[in-house]
Amino acid sequence: MTFGEIYGHGKAIAILKSVIANGRIAHAYLFYGMEGVGKRTTAEVFARSLNCAEEDPPCGACSSCRKAEHRNHPDIVTVAEDGPIIKIGTVKELLGQMKFRPREGRMRVFIMPEADRMNPAAANALLKTLEEPSAGNILLLTTARPHALPMTILSRCQLLRFPPLTREEVACFLREKNSVPPDAAAILAASSGGSIGKALEMNRADYLTLRNAILDYLASDDPADPIGRLAFAARFGTEREEISERLLILKTCYRDALICRETKEKGRLIFQDRTEAIRSIAGRLSGRDLLRNIGAIEAAAGAIDKNANKTLTLETMLIKFA
């Protein structure tokens, strides 16, 4: 894979190409931005570029690039950790490898995805290396939560922001790389929030069925029917991931209804293919009601993230709805 095959992020790619061309490569970089926008992919392409033998790296054809493509390049190492936390043992192993010179290429590159998962001991161990970098070693960190990393680490890395992709960039990826039909690609891109990763997660038959069921329910919701609302809450499932997905759909429905009510601009809607249902919701609720419902969804999502009782939280949220 080359820089030209990355969707979006022209500014970040231009910066990386420039530092390669000028030979002014920092010892550590932090790529940050929302999940699924291409931070890790760009880090991998950058790592290949640093060891590519051609003038316009990465070429994708030389021995170094081919090894990197097959993930068996001895000088490109991805730090992997099972479980939710990157522990000090993993970082110490990385530091041990950084004592050696590159085996084949010009530089040894270490990629650490989701660097915010480091516990304090691991972060402190990494900090020493950032303060006293070893020659010939480059560290590439990626994170969707830069605020979760110590400021001492942030201050010793070159920061590169990866903003959300445009709807067209996401839709183009879905059409070209996953053969998603144009209409479905447009819907998924609009719902993804600028994340290819999120769009790929939603690219399944039951997502649109689920979304349409929620929209249809909201368009016909009767505040005087608490039993119906409790039954609707039961359809959110019991696992945190499926509940989070449903809450996001619910929030997006009310967000679109608020946009529709206040601006009447269809082009700003996320669920543009369900304009009539959105208008129905907007016609039944005031702007204040919609904002209150959005706030209730955000509060419920926050409570569930903190391990609150899922069923009780969802039922309370729906009863509070206008």
Closest to 190 (Cα-Cα) out of 275, 276, 264: 275
User: Residue 213 is encoded by which pair of tokens?
Assistant: 């069921």
pLDDT value for 132: 81
Report d(CA 283, CA 218) in Å as an integer: 12
pLDDT value for 172: 96
Averaged pLDDT, 85-108: 89
Q: Is it the case that residue 233 has pLDDT exceeding 90?
A: no
pLDDT value for 291: 96
Predicted confidence band at 226 (pLDDT cuts at 50, 70, 90)? confident
The pTM is what? 0.83
pLDDT value for 279: 94
Question: How many CB atoms are located within 10 Å of the residue 195 CB?
Answer: 22
Report d(CA 190, CA 167) in Å as an integer: 6
pLDDT value for 224: 74
pLDDT value for 47: 95
Residue 114: left if φ>0, alpha if ψ -120 to 50, beta else—which one?
A: left
Distances (CA, A) of 306 to 119, 299, 309, 310: 19, 11, 9, 10
What value does the mean pLDDT of the chain take?
Answer: 91
Q: Is it the case that residue 113 has pLDDT exceeding 80?
A: yes
Residue 214: left if φ>0, alpha if ψ -120 to 50, beta else—which one?
A: alpha
Report d(CA 42, CA 46) in Å as an integer: 6
Domain spanning 3-161: CATH 3.40.50.300: yes
Closest to 9 (Cα-Cα) out of 39, 48, 51: 39
- Sequence spans of domains, the chain: 3-161, 204-320
φ, ψ of residue 118 in degrees (nearest 5): -65, 135
Report d(CA 170, CA 37) in Å as an integer: 9
pLDDT value for 223: 75
Name which of 7-11, 38-42, 232-236, 249-253 the model is least confident about: 232-236
**Residues recorded for the chain:** 322
Question: What three-state secondary structure class fits 81?
Answer: coil
Closest to 94 (Cα-Cα) out of 69, 126, 63, 123: 126
Which residues, 6 or more positions from 309, have their beta carbon under 8 angstroms from its beta carbon?
none
Q: Is it the case that residue 164 has pLDDT exceeding 90?
A: yes
User: Residue 31 is encoded by which pair of tokens?
Assistant: 């790529």
Contact 118, 130 (CB under 8 A): no
Averaged pLDDT, 282-308: 94
Which residues, 6 or more positions from 201, have their beta carbon under 8 angstroms from its beta carbon?
36
Report d(CA 251, CA 246) in Å as an integer: 9
Question: What three-state secondary structure class fits 30?
Answer: strand
Q: Is it the case that residue 82 has pLDDT exceeding 80?
A: no
pLDDT value for 310: 92
pLDDT value for 66: 93
Averaged pLDDT, 146-169: 95
Report d(CA 180, CA 309) in Å as an integer: 38
pLDDT value for 129: 83
Domain 204-320: give its CATH code: 1.20.272
Which residues, 6 or more positions from 267, have their beta carbon under 8 angstroms from its beta carbon?
none
Report d(CA 253, CA 283) in Å as an integer: 13
